[in-house]
Amino acid sequence: MSTKKSTRESTRKTRAAATPKRTAARAAAKAAPIASASGFMAHAYAMEAEAAERYAEFADSMEMHNNRDVAELFRKLSRIEQRHADQILEQMGSKQSPAPSANFRWEGAEGPETADPTELHYLMQPYHALQIALHNEKRARDFFAHLAKVTANAGVRKGALEMERDEAEHVRLIEEWLKRTPVPDFNWEADPDPPMLSD
Amino acid sequence: MNSPAVAAPITAQAFKSDYKPIWCPGCGDYSVLSSFTKAFAKLDLRPENIAVVSGIGCSSRIPAYTTCYGFHGVHGRSLAAASGLKLARPDLTVVVASGDGDGYSIGGNHFLHACRRNVDLTYVVMDNHVYGMTKGQPSPTTEPDWDSKLSPGGTGLRTFHPLVIALAAGANFVARAFSGDPNGTADIIAEAIRTPGFSFVEILSPCVTFRPEQREWKQLARPAPVTTTDDAARAARRIMTDDGFNIGVLYKGGRKPYQPSIGKGKKRPSDLEAEFAI
């Protein structure tokens, strides 16, 4: 086995081993406090909108590499996240995207529901895409659960508990979806005409 | 009476063209593109007031994916083209995109002198320590012991140290960013554009195809544990002794940007343009 391959596998193991709960708790703890219910809604909107944008990027990328099934799945996930973002806007009675407070940062990087681009592979299958989505939904659920626990603001707590319930429902739906999706062969990454010259 | 119309703030999406990137799935350059567009929106710029100039390589495809003016130029010569453009059209915001091969090898000499000259440009280099487009040859920033079919046993060559070289050559703003933090990278690019003079932003952008082990970078990259300094020697010492994963604005100087002196008998670009008009 090449060094590259073993490193890659170990990366995946590392990722799988990292519990979403711990990461989300760290995210909520590190973030600047969300002080009001309207601030909370702005952040919830940003989380959904960022997730929708990332899935749309993934769909484009898969389309360019002629992986149509996965492109379609990511497109669907993007539409679902965008719908959630639009629902939040509707609840806020706003037509324009609300701006989260300037000093707020997600865990120093991205929102808990935003997929990690380095998880993509041009030969990936719908099962892998759903695993990515499941991981993100769990992180979002745990982020809101932790926020509900630590916030001192009653409005933020109410909103966070509501979002936690929504995200838990998404987790359940994706788990159901995964059950109906074929599990890839062990050698799904094998490419008879690989792009590598250096292997 | 109608109240005056207030223009809606521009969104990052407005800077994305209809062309879909053809980078490999998982490439860090997708996030860098997103950081470019977020930075432009943050600065409330307009696509028609920005020029994105590039050379050759995966990263240099970026101009086509934006709605800004673009120039996909000659290998390693993006800084020469961009300098000319900025001097002729100082009203434009000029951002230059490059990679570690295009920027430090083929364009290495231009890099040194662009730092010295200090034209008001923002130079963004997406560094993945490999020539990706030509299938995995070692670049100037490749580790000496990176073993591959094209460099068995590694090159054994000392790696190029772009940030220190930029400092020594006179760059006015030096920063390191990581593509895995697109929001933080957008902030750094915005600050680089706002800072007058030659701003250099090195972005660690993994190549998941030829350097899959770079997926680990997300575990290594973290905010630099120091504040920005205006002392180039101090910044150089810090950069020379860090492990290459400290992220942030590492140096910000106060040099005046280069402006050509157009004295008596010398012609302005507009005069030359008129002279050459048919």
Closest C-alpha to B123, from B166, B90, B71, B183: B166
In a domain, A174, yes or no: yes
Other C-beta atoms lying within 10 Å of the C-beta of residue A9: 12
CATH number of B26-276: 3.40.50.970
In a domain, A188, yes or no: no
Number of domains in chain A: 1
Q: How far, in Å, CA of A68 to CA of A74, rounded?
A: 10
In a domain, A122, yes or no: yes
- Pick from A14, A61, A195: which is nearest to B135 by CB? A195
Residue B153 contacts A, CB cutoff 8 Å? no
Contact B201, B192 (CB under 8 A): yes
Cross-chain residue pair B181–A108, CB shorter than 8 Å: yes
In degrees, to the nearest 5, what angle opens at C-alpha B72 toward C-alphas B69 and B78?
100
Q: How far is CA B256 from CA B42, B120, B251, in A?
A: 25, 9, 15
For B33-89, how does the pLDDT look when each residue is reduced to its tens digit (9 = 90+)?
A: 999 999 999 999 999 999 999 999 999 999 999 999 999 999 999 999 999 999 999
Range(s) of the domain holding residue A134 = 37-179
Listed by number, the residues of chain A in 60-119 with a beta carbon closer than 8 Å to a beta carbon of chain B are 60-65, 67, 96-97, 105-106, 108-110, 116-119
For B120-161, how does the pLDDT look when each residue is reduced to its tens digit (9 = 90+)?
A: 999 999 999 999 999 899 999 999 999 988 899 999 999 999
The structure's pTM equals 0.87
Average pLDDT over residues A61-73: 95
**CATH code, A81:** 1.20.1260.10
In degrees, to the nearest 5, what angle opens at C-alpha B110 toward C-alphas B105 and B112?
90
Q: What average pLDDT does chain B have?
A: 93
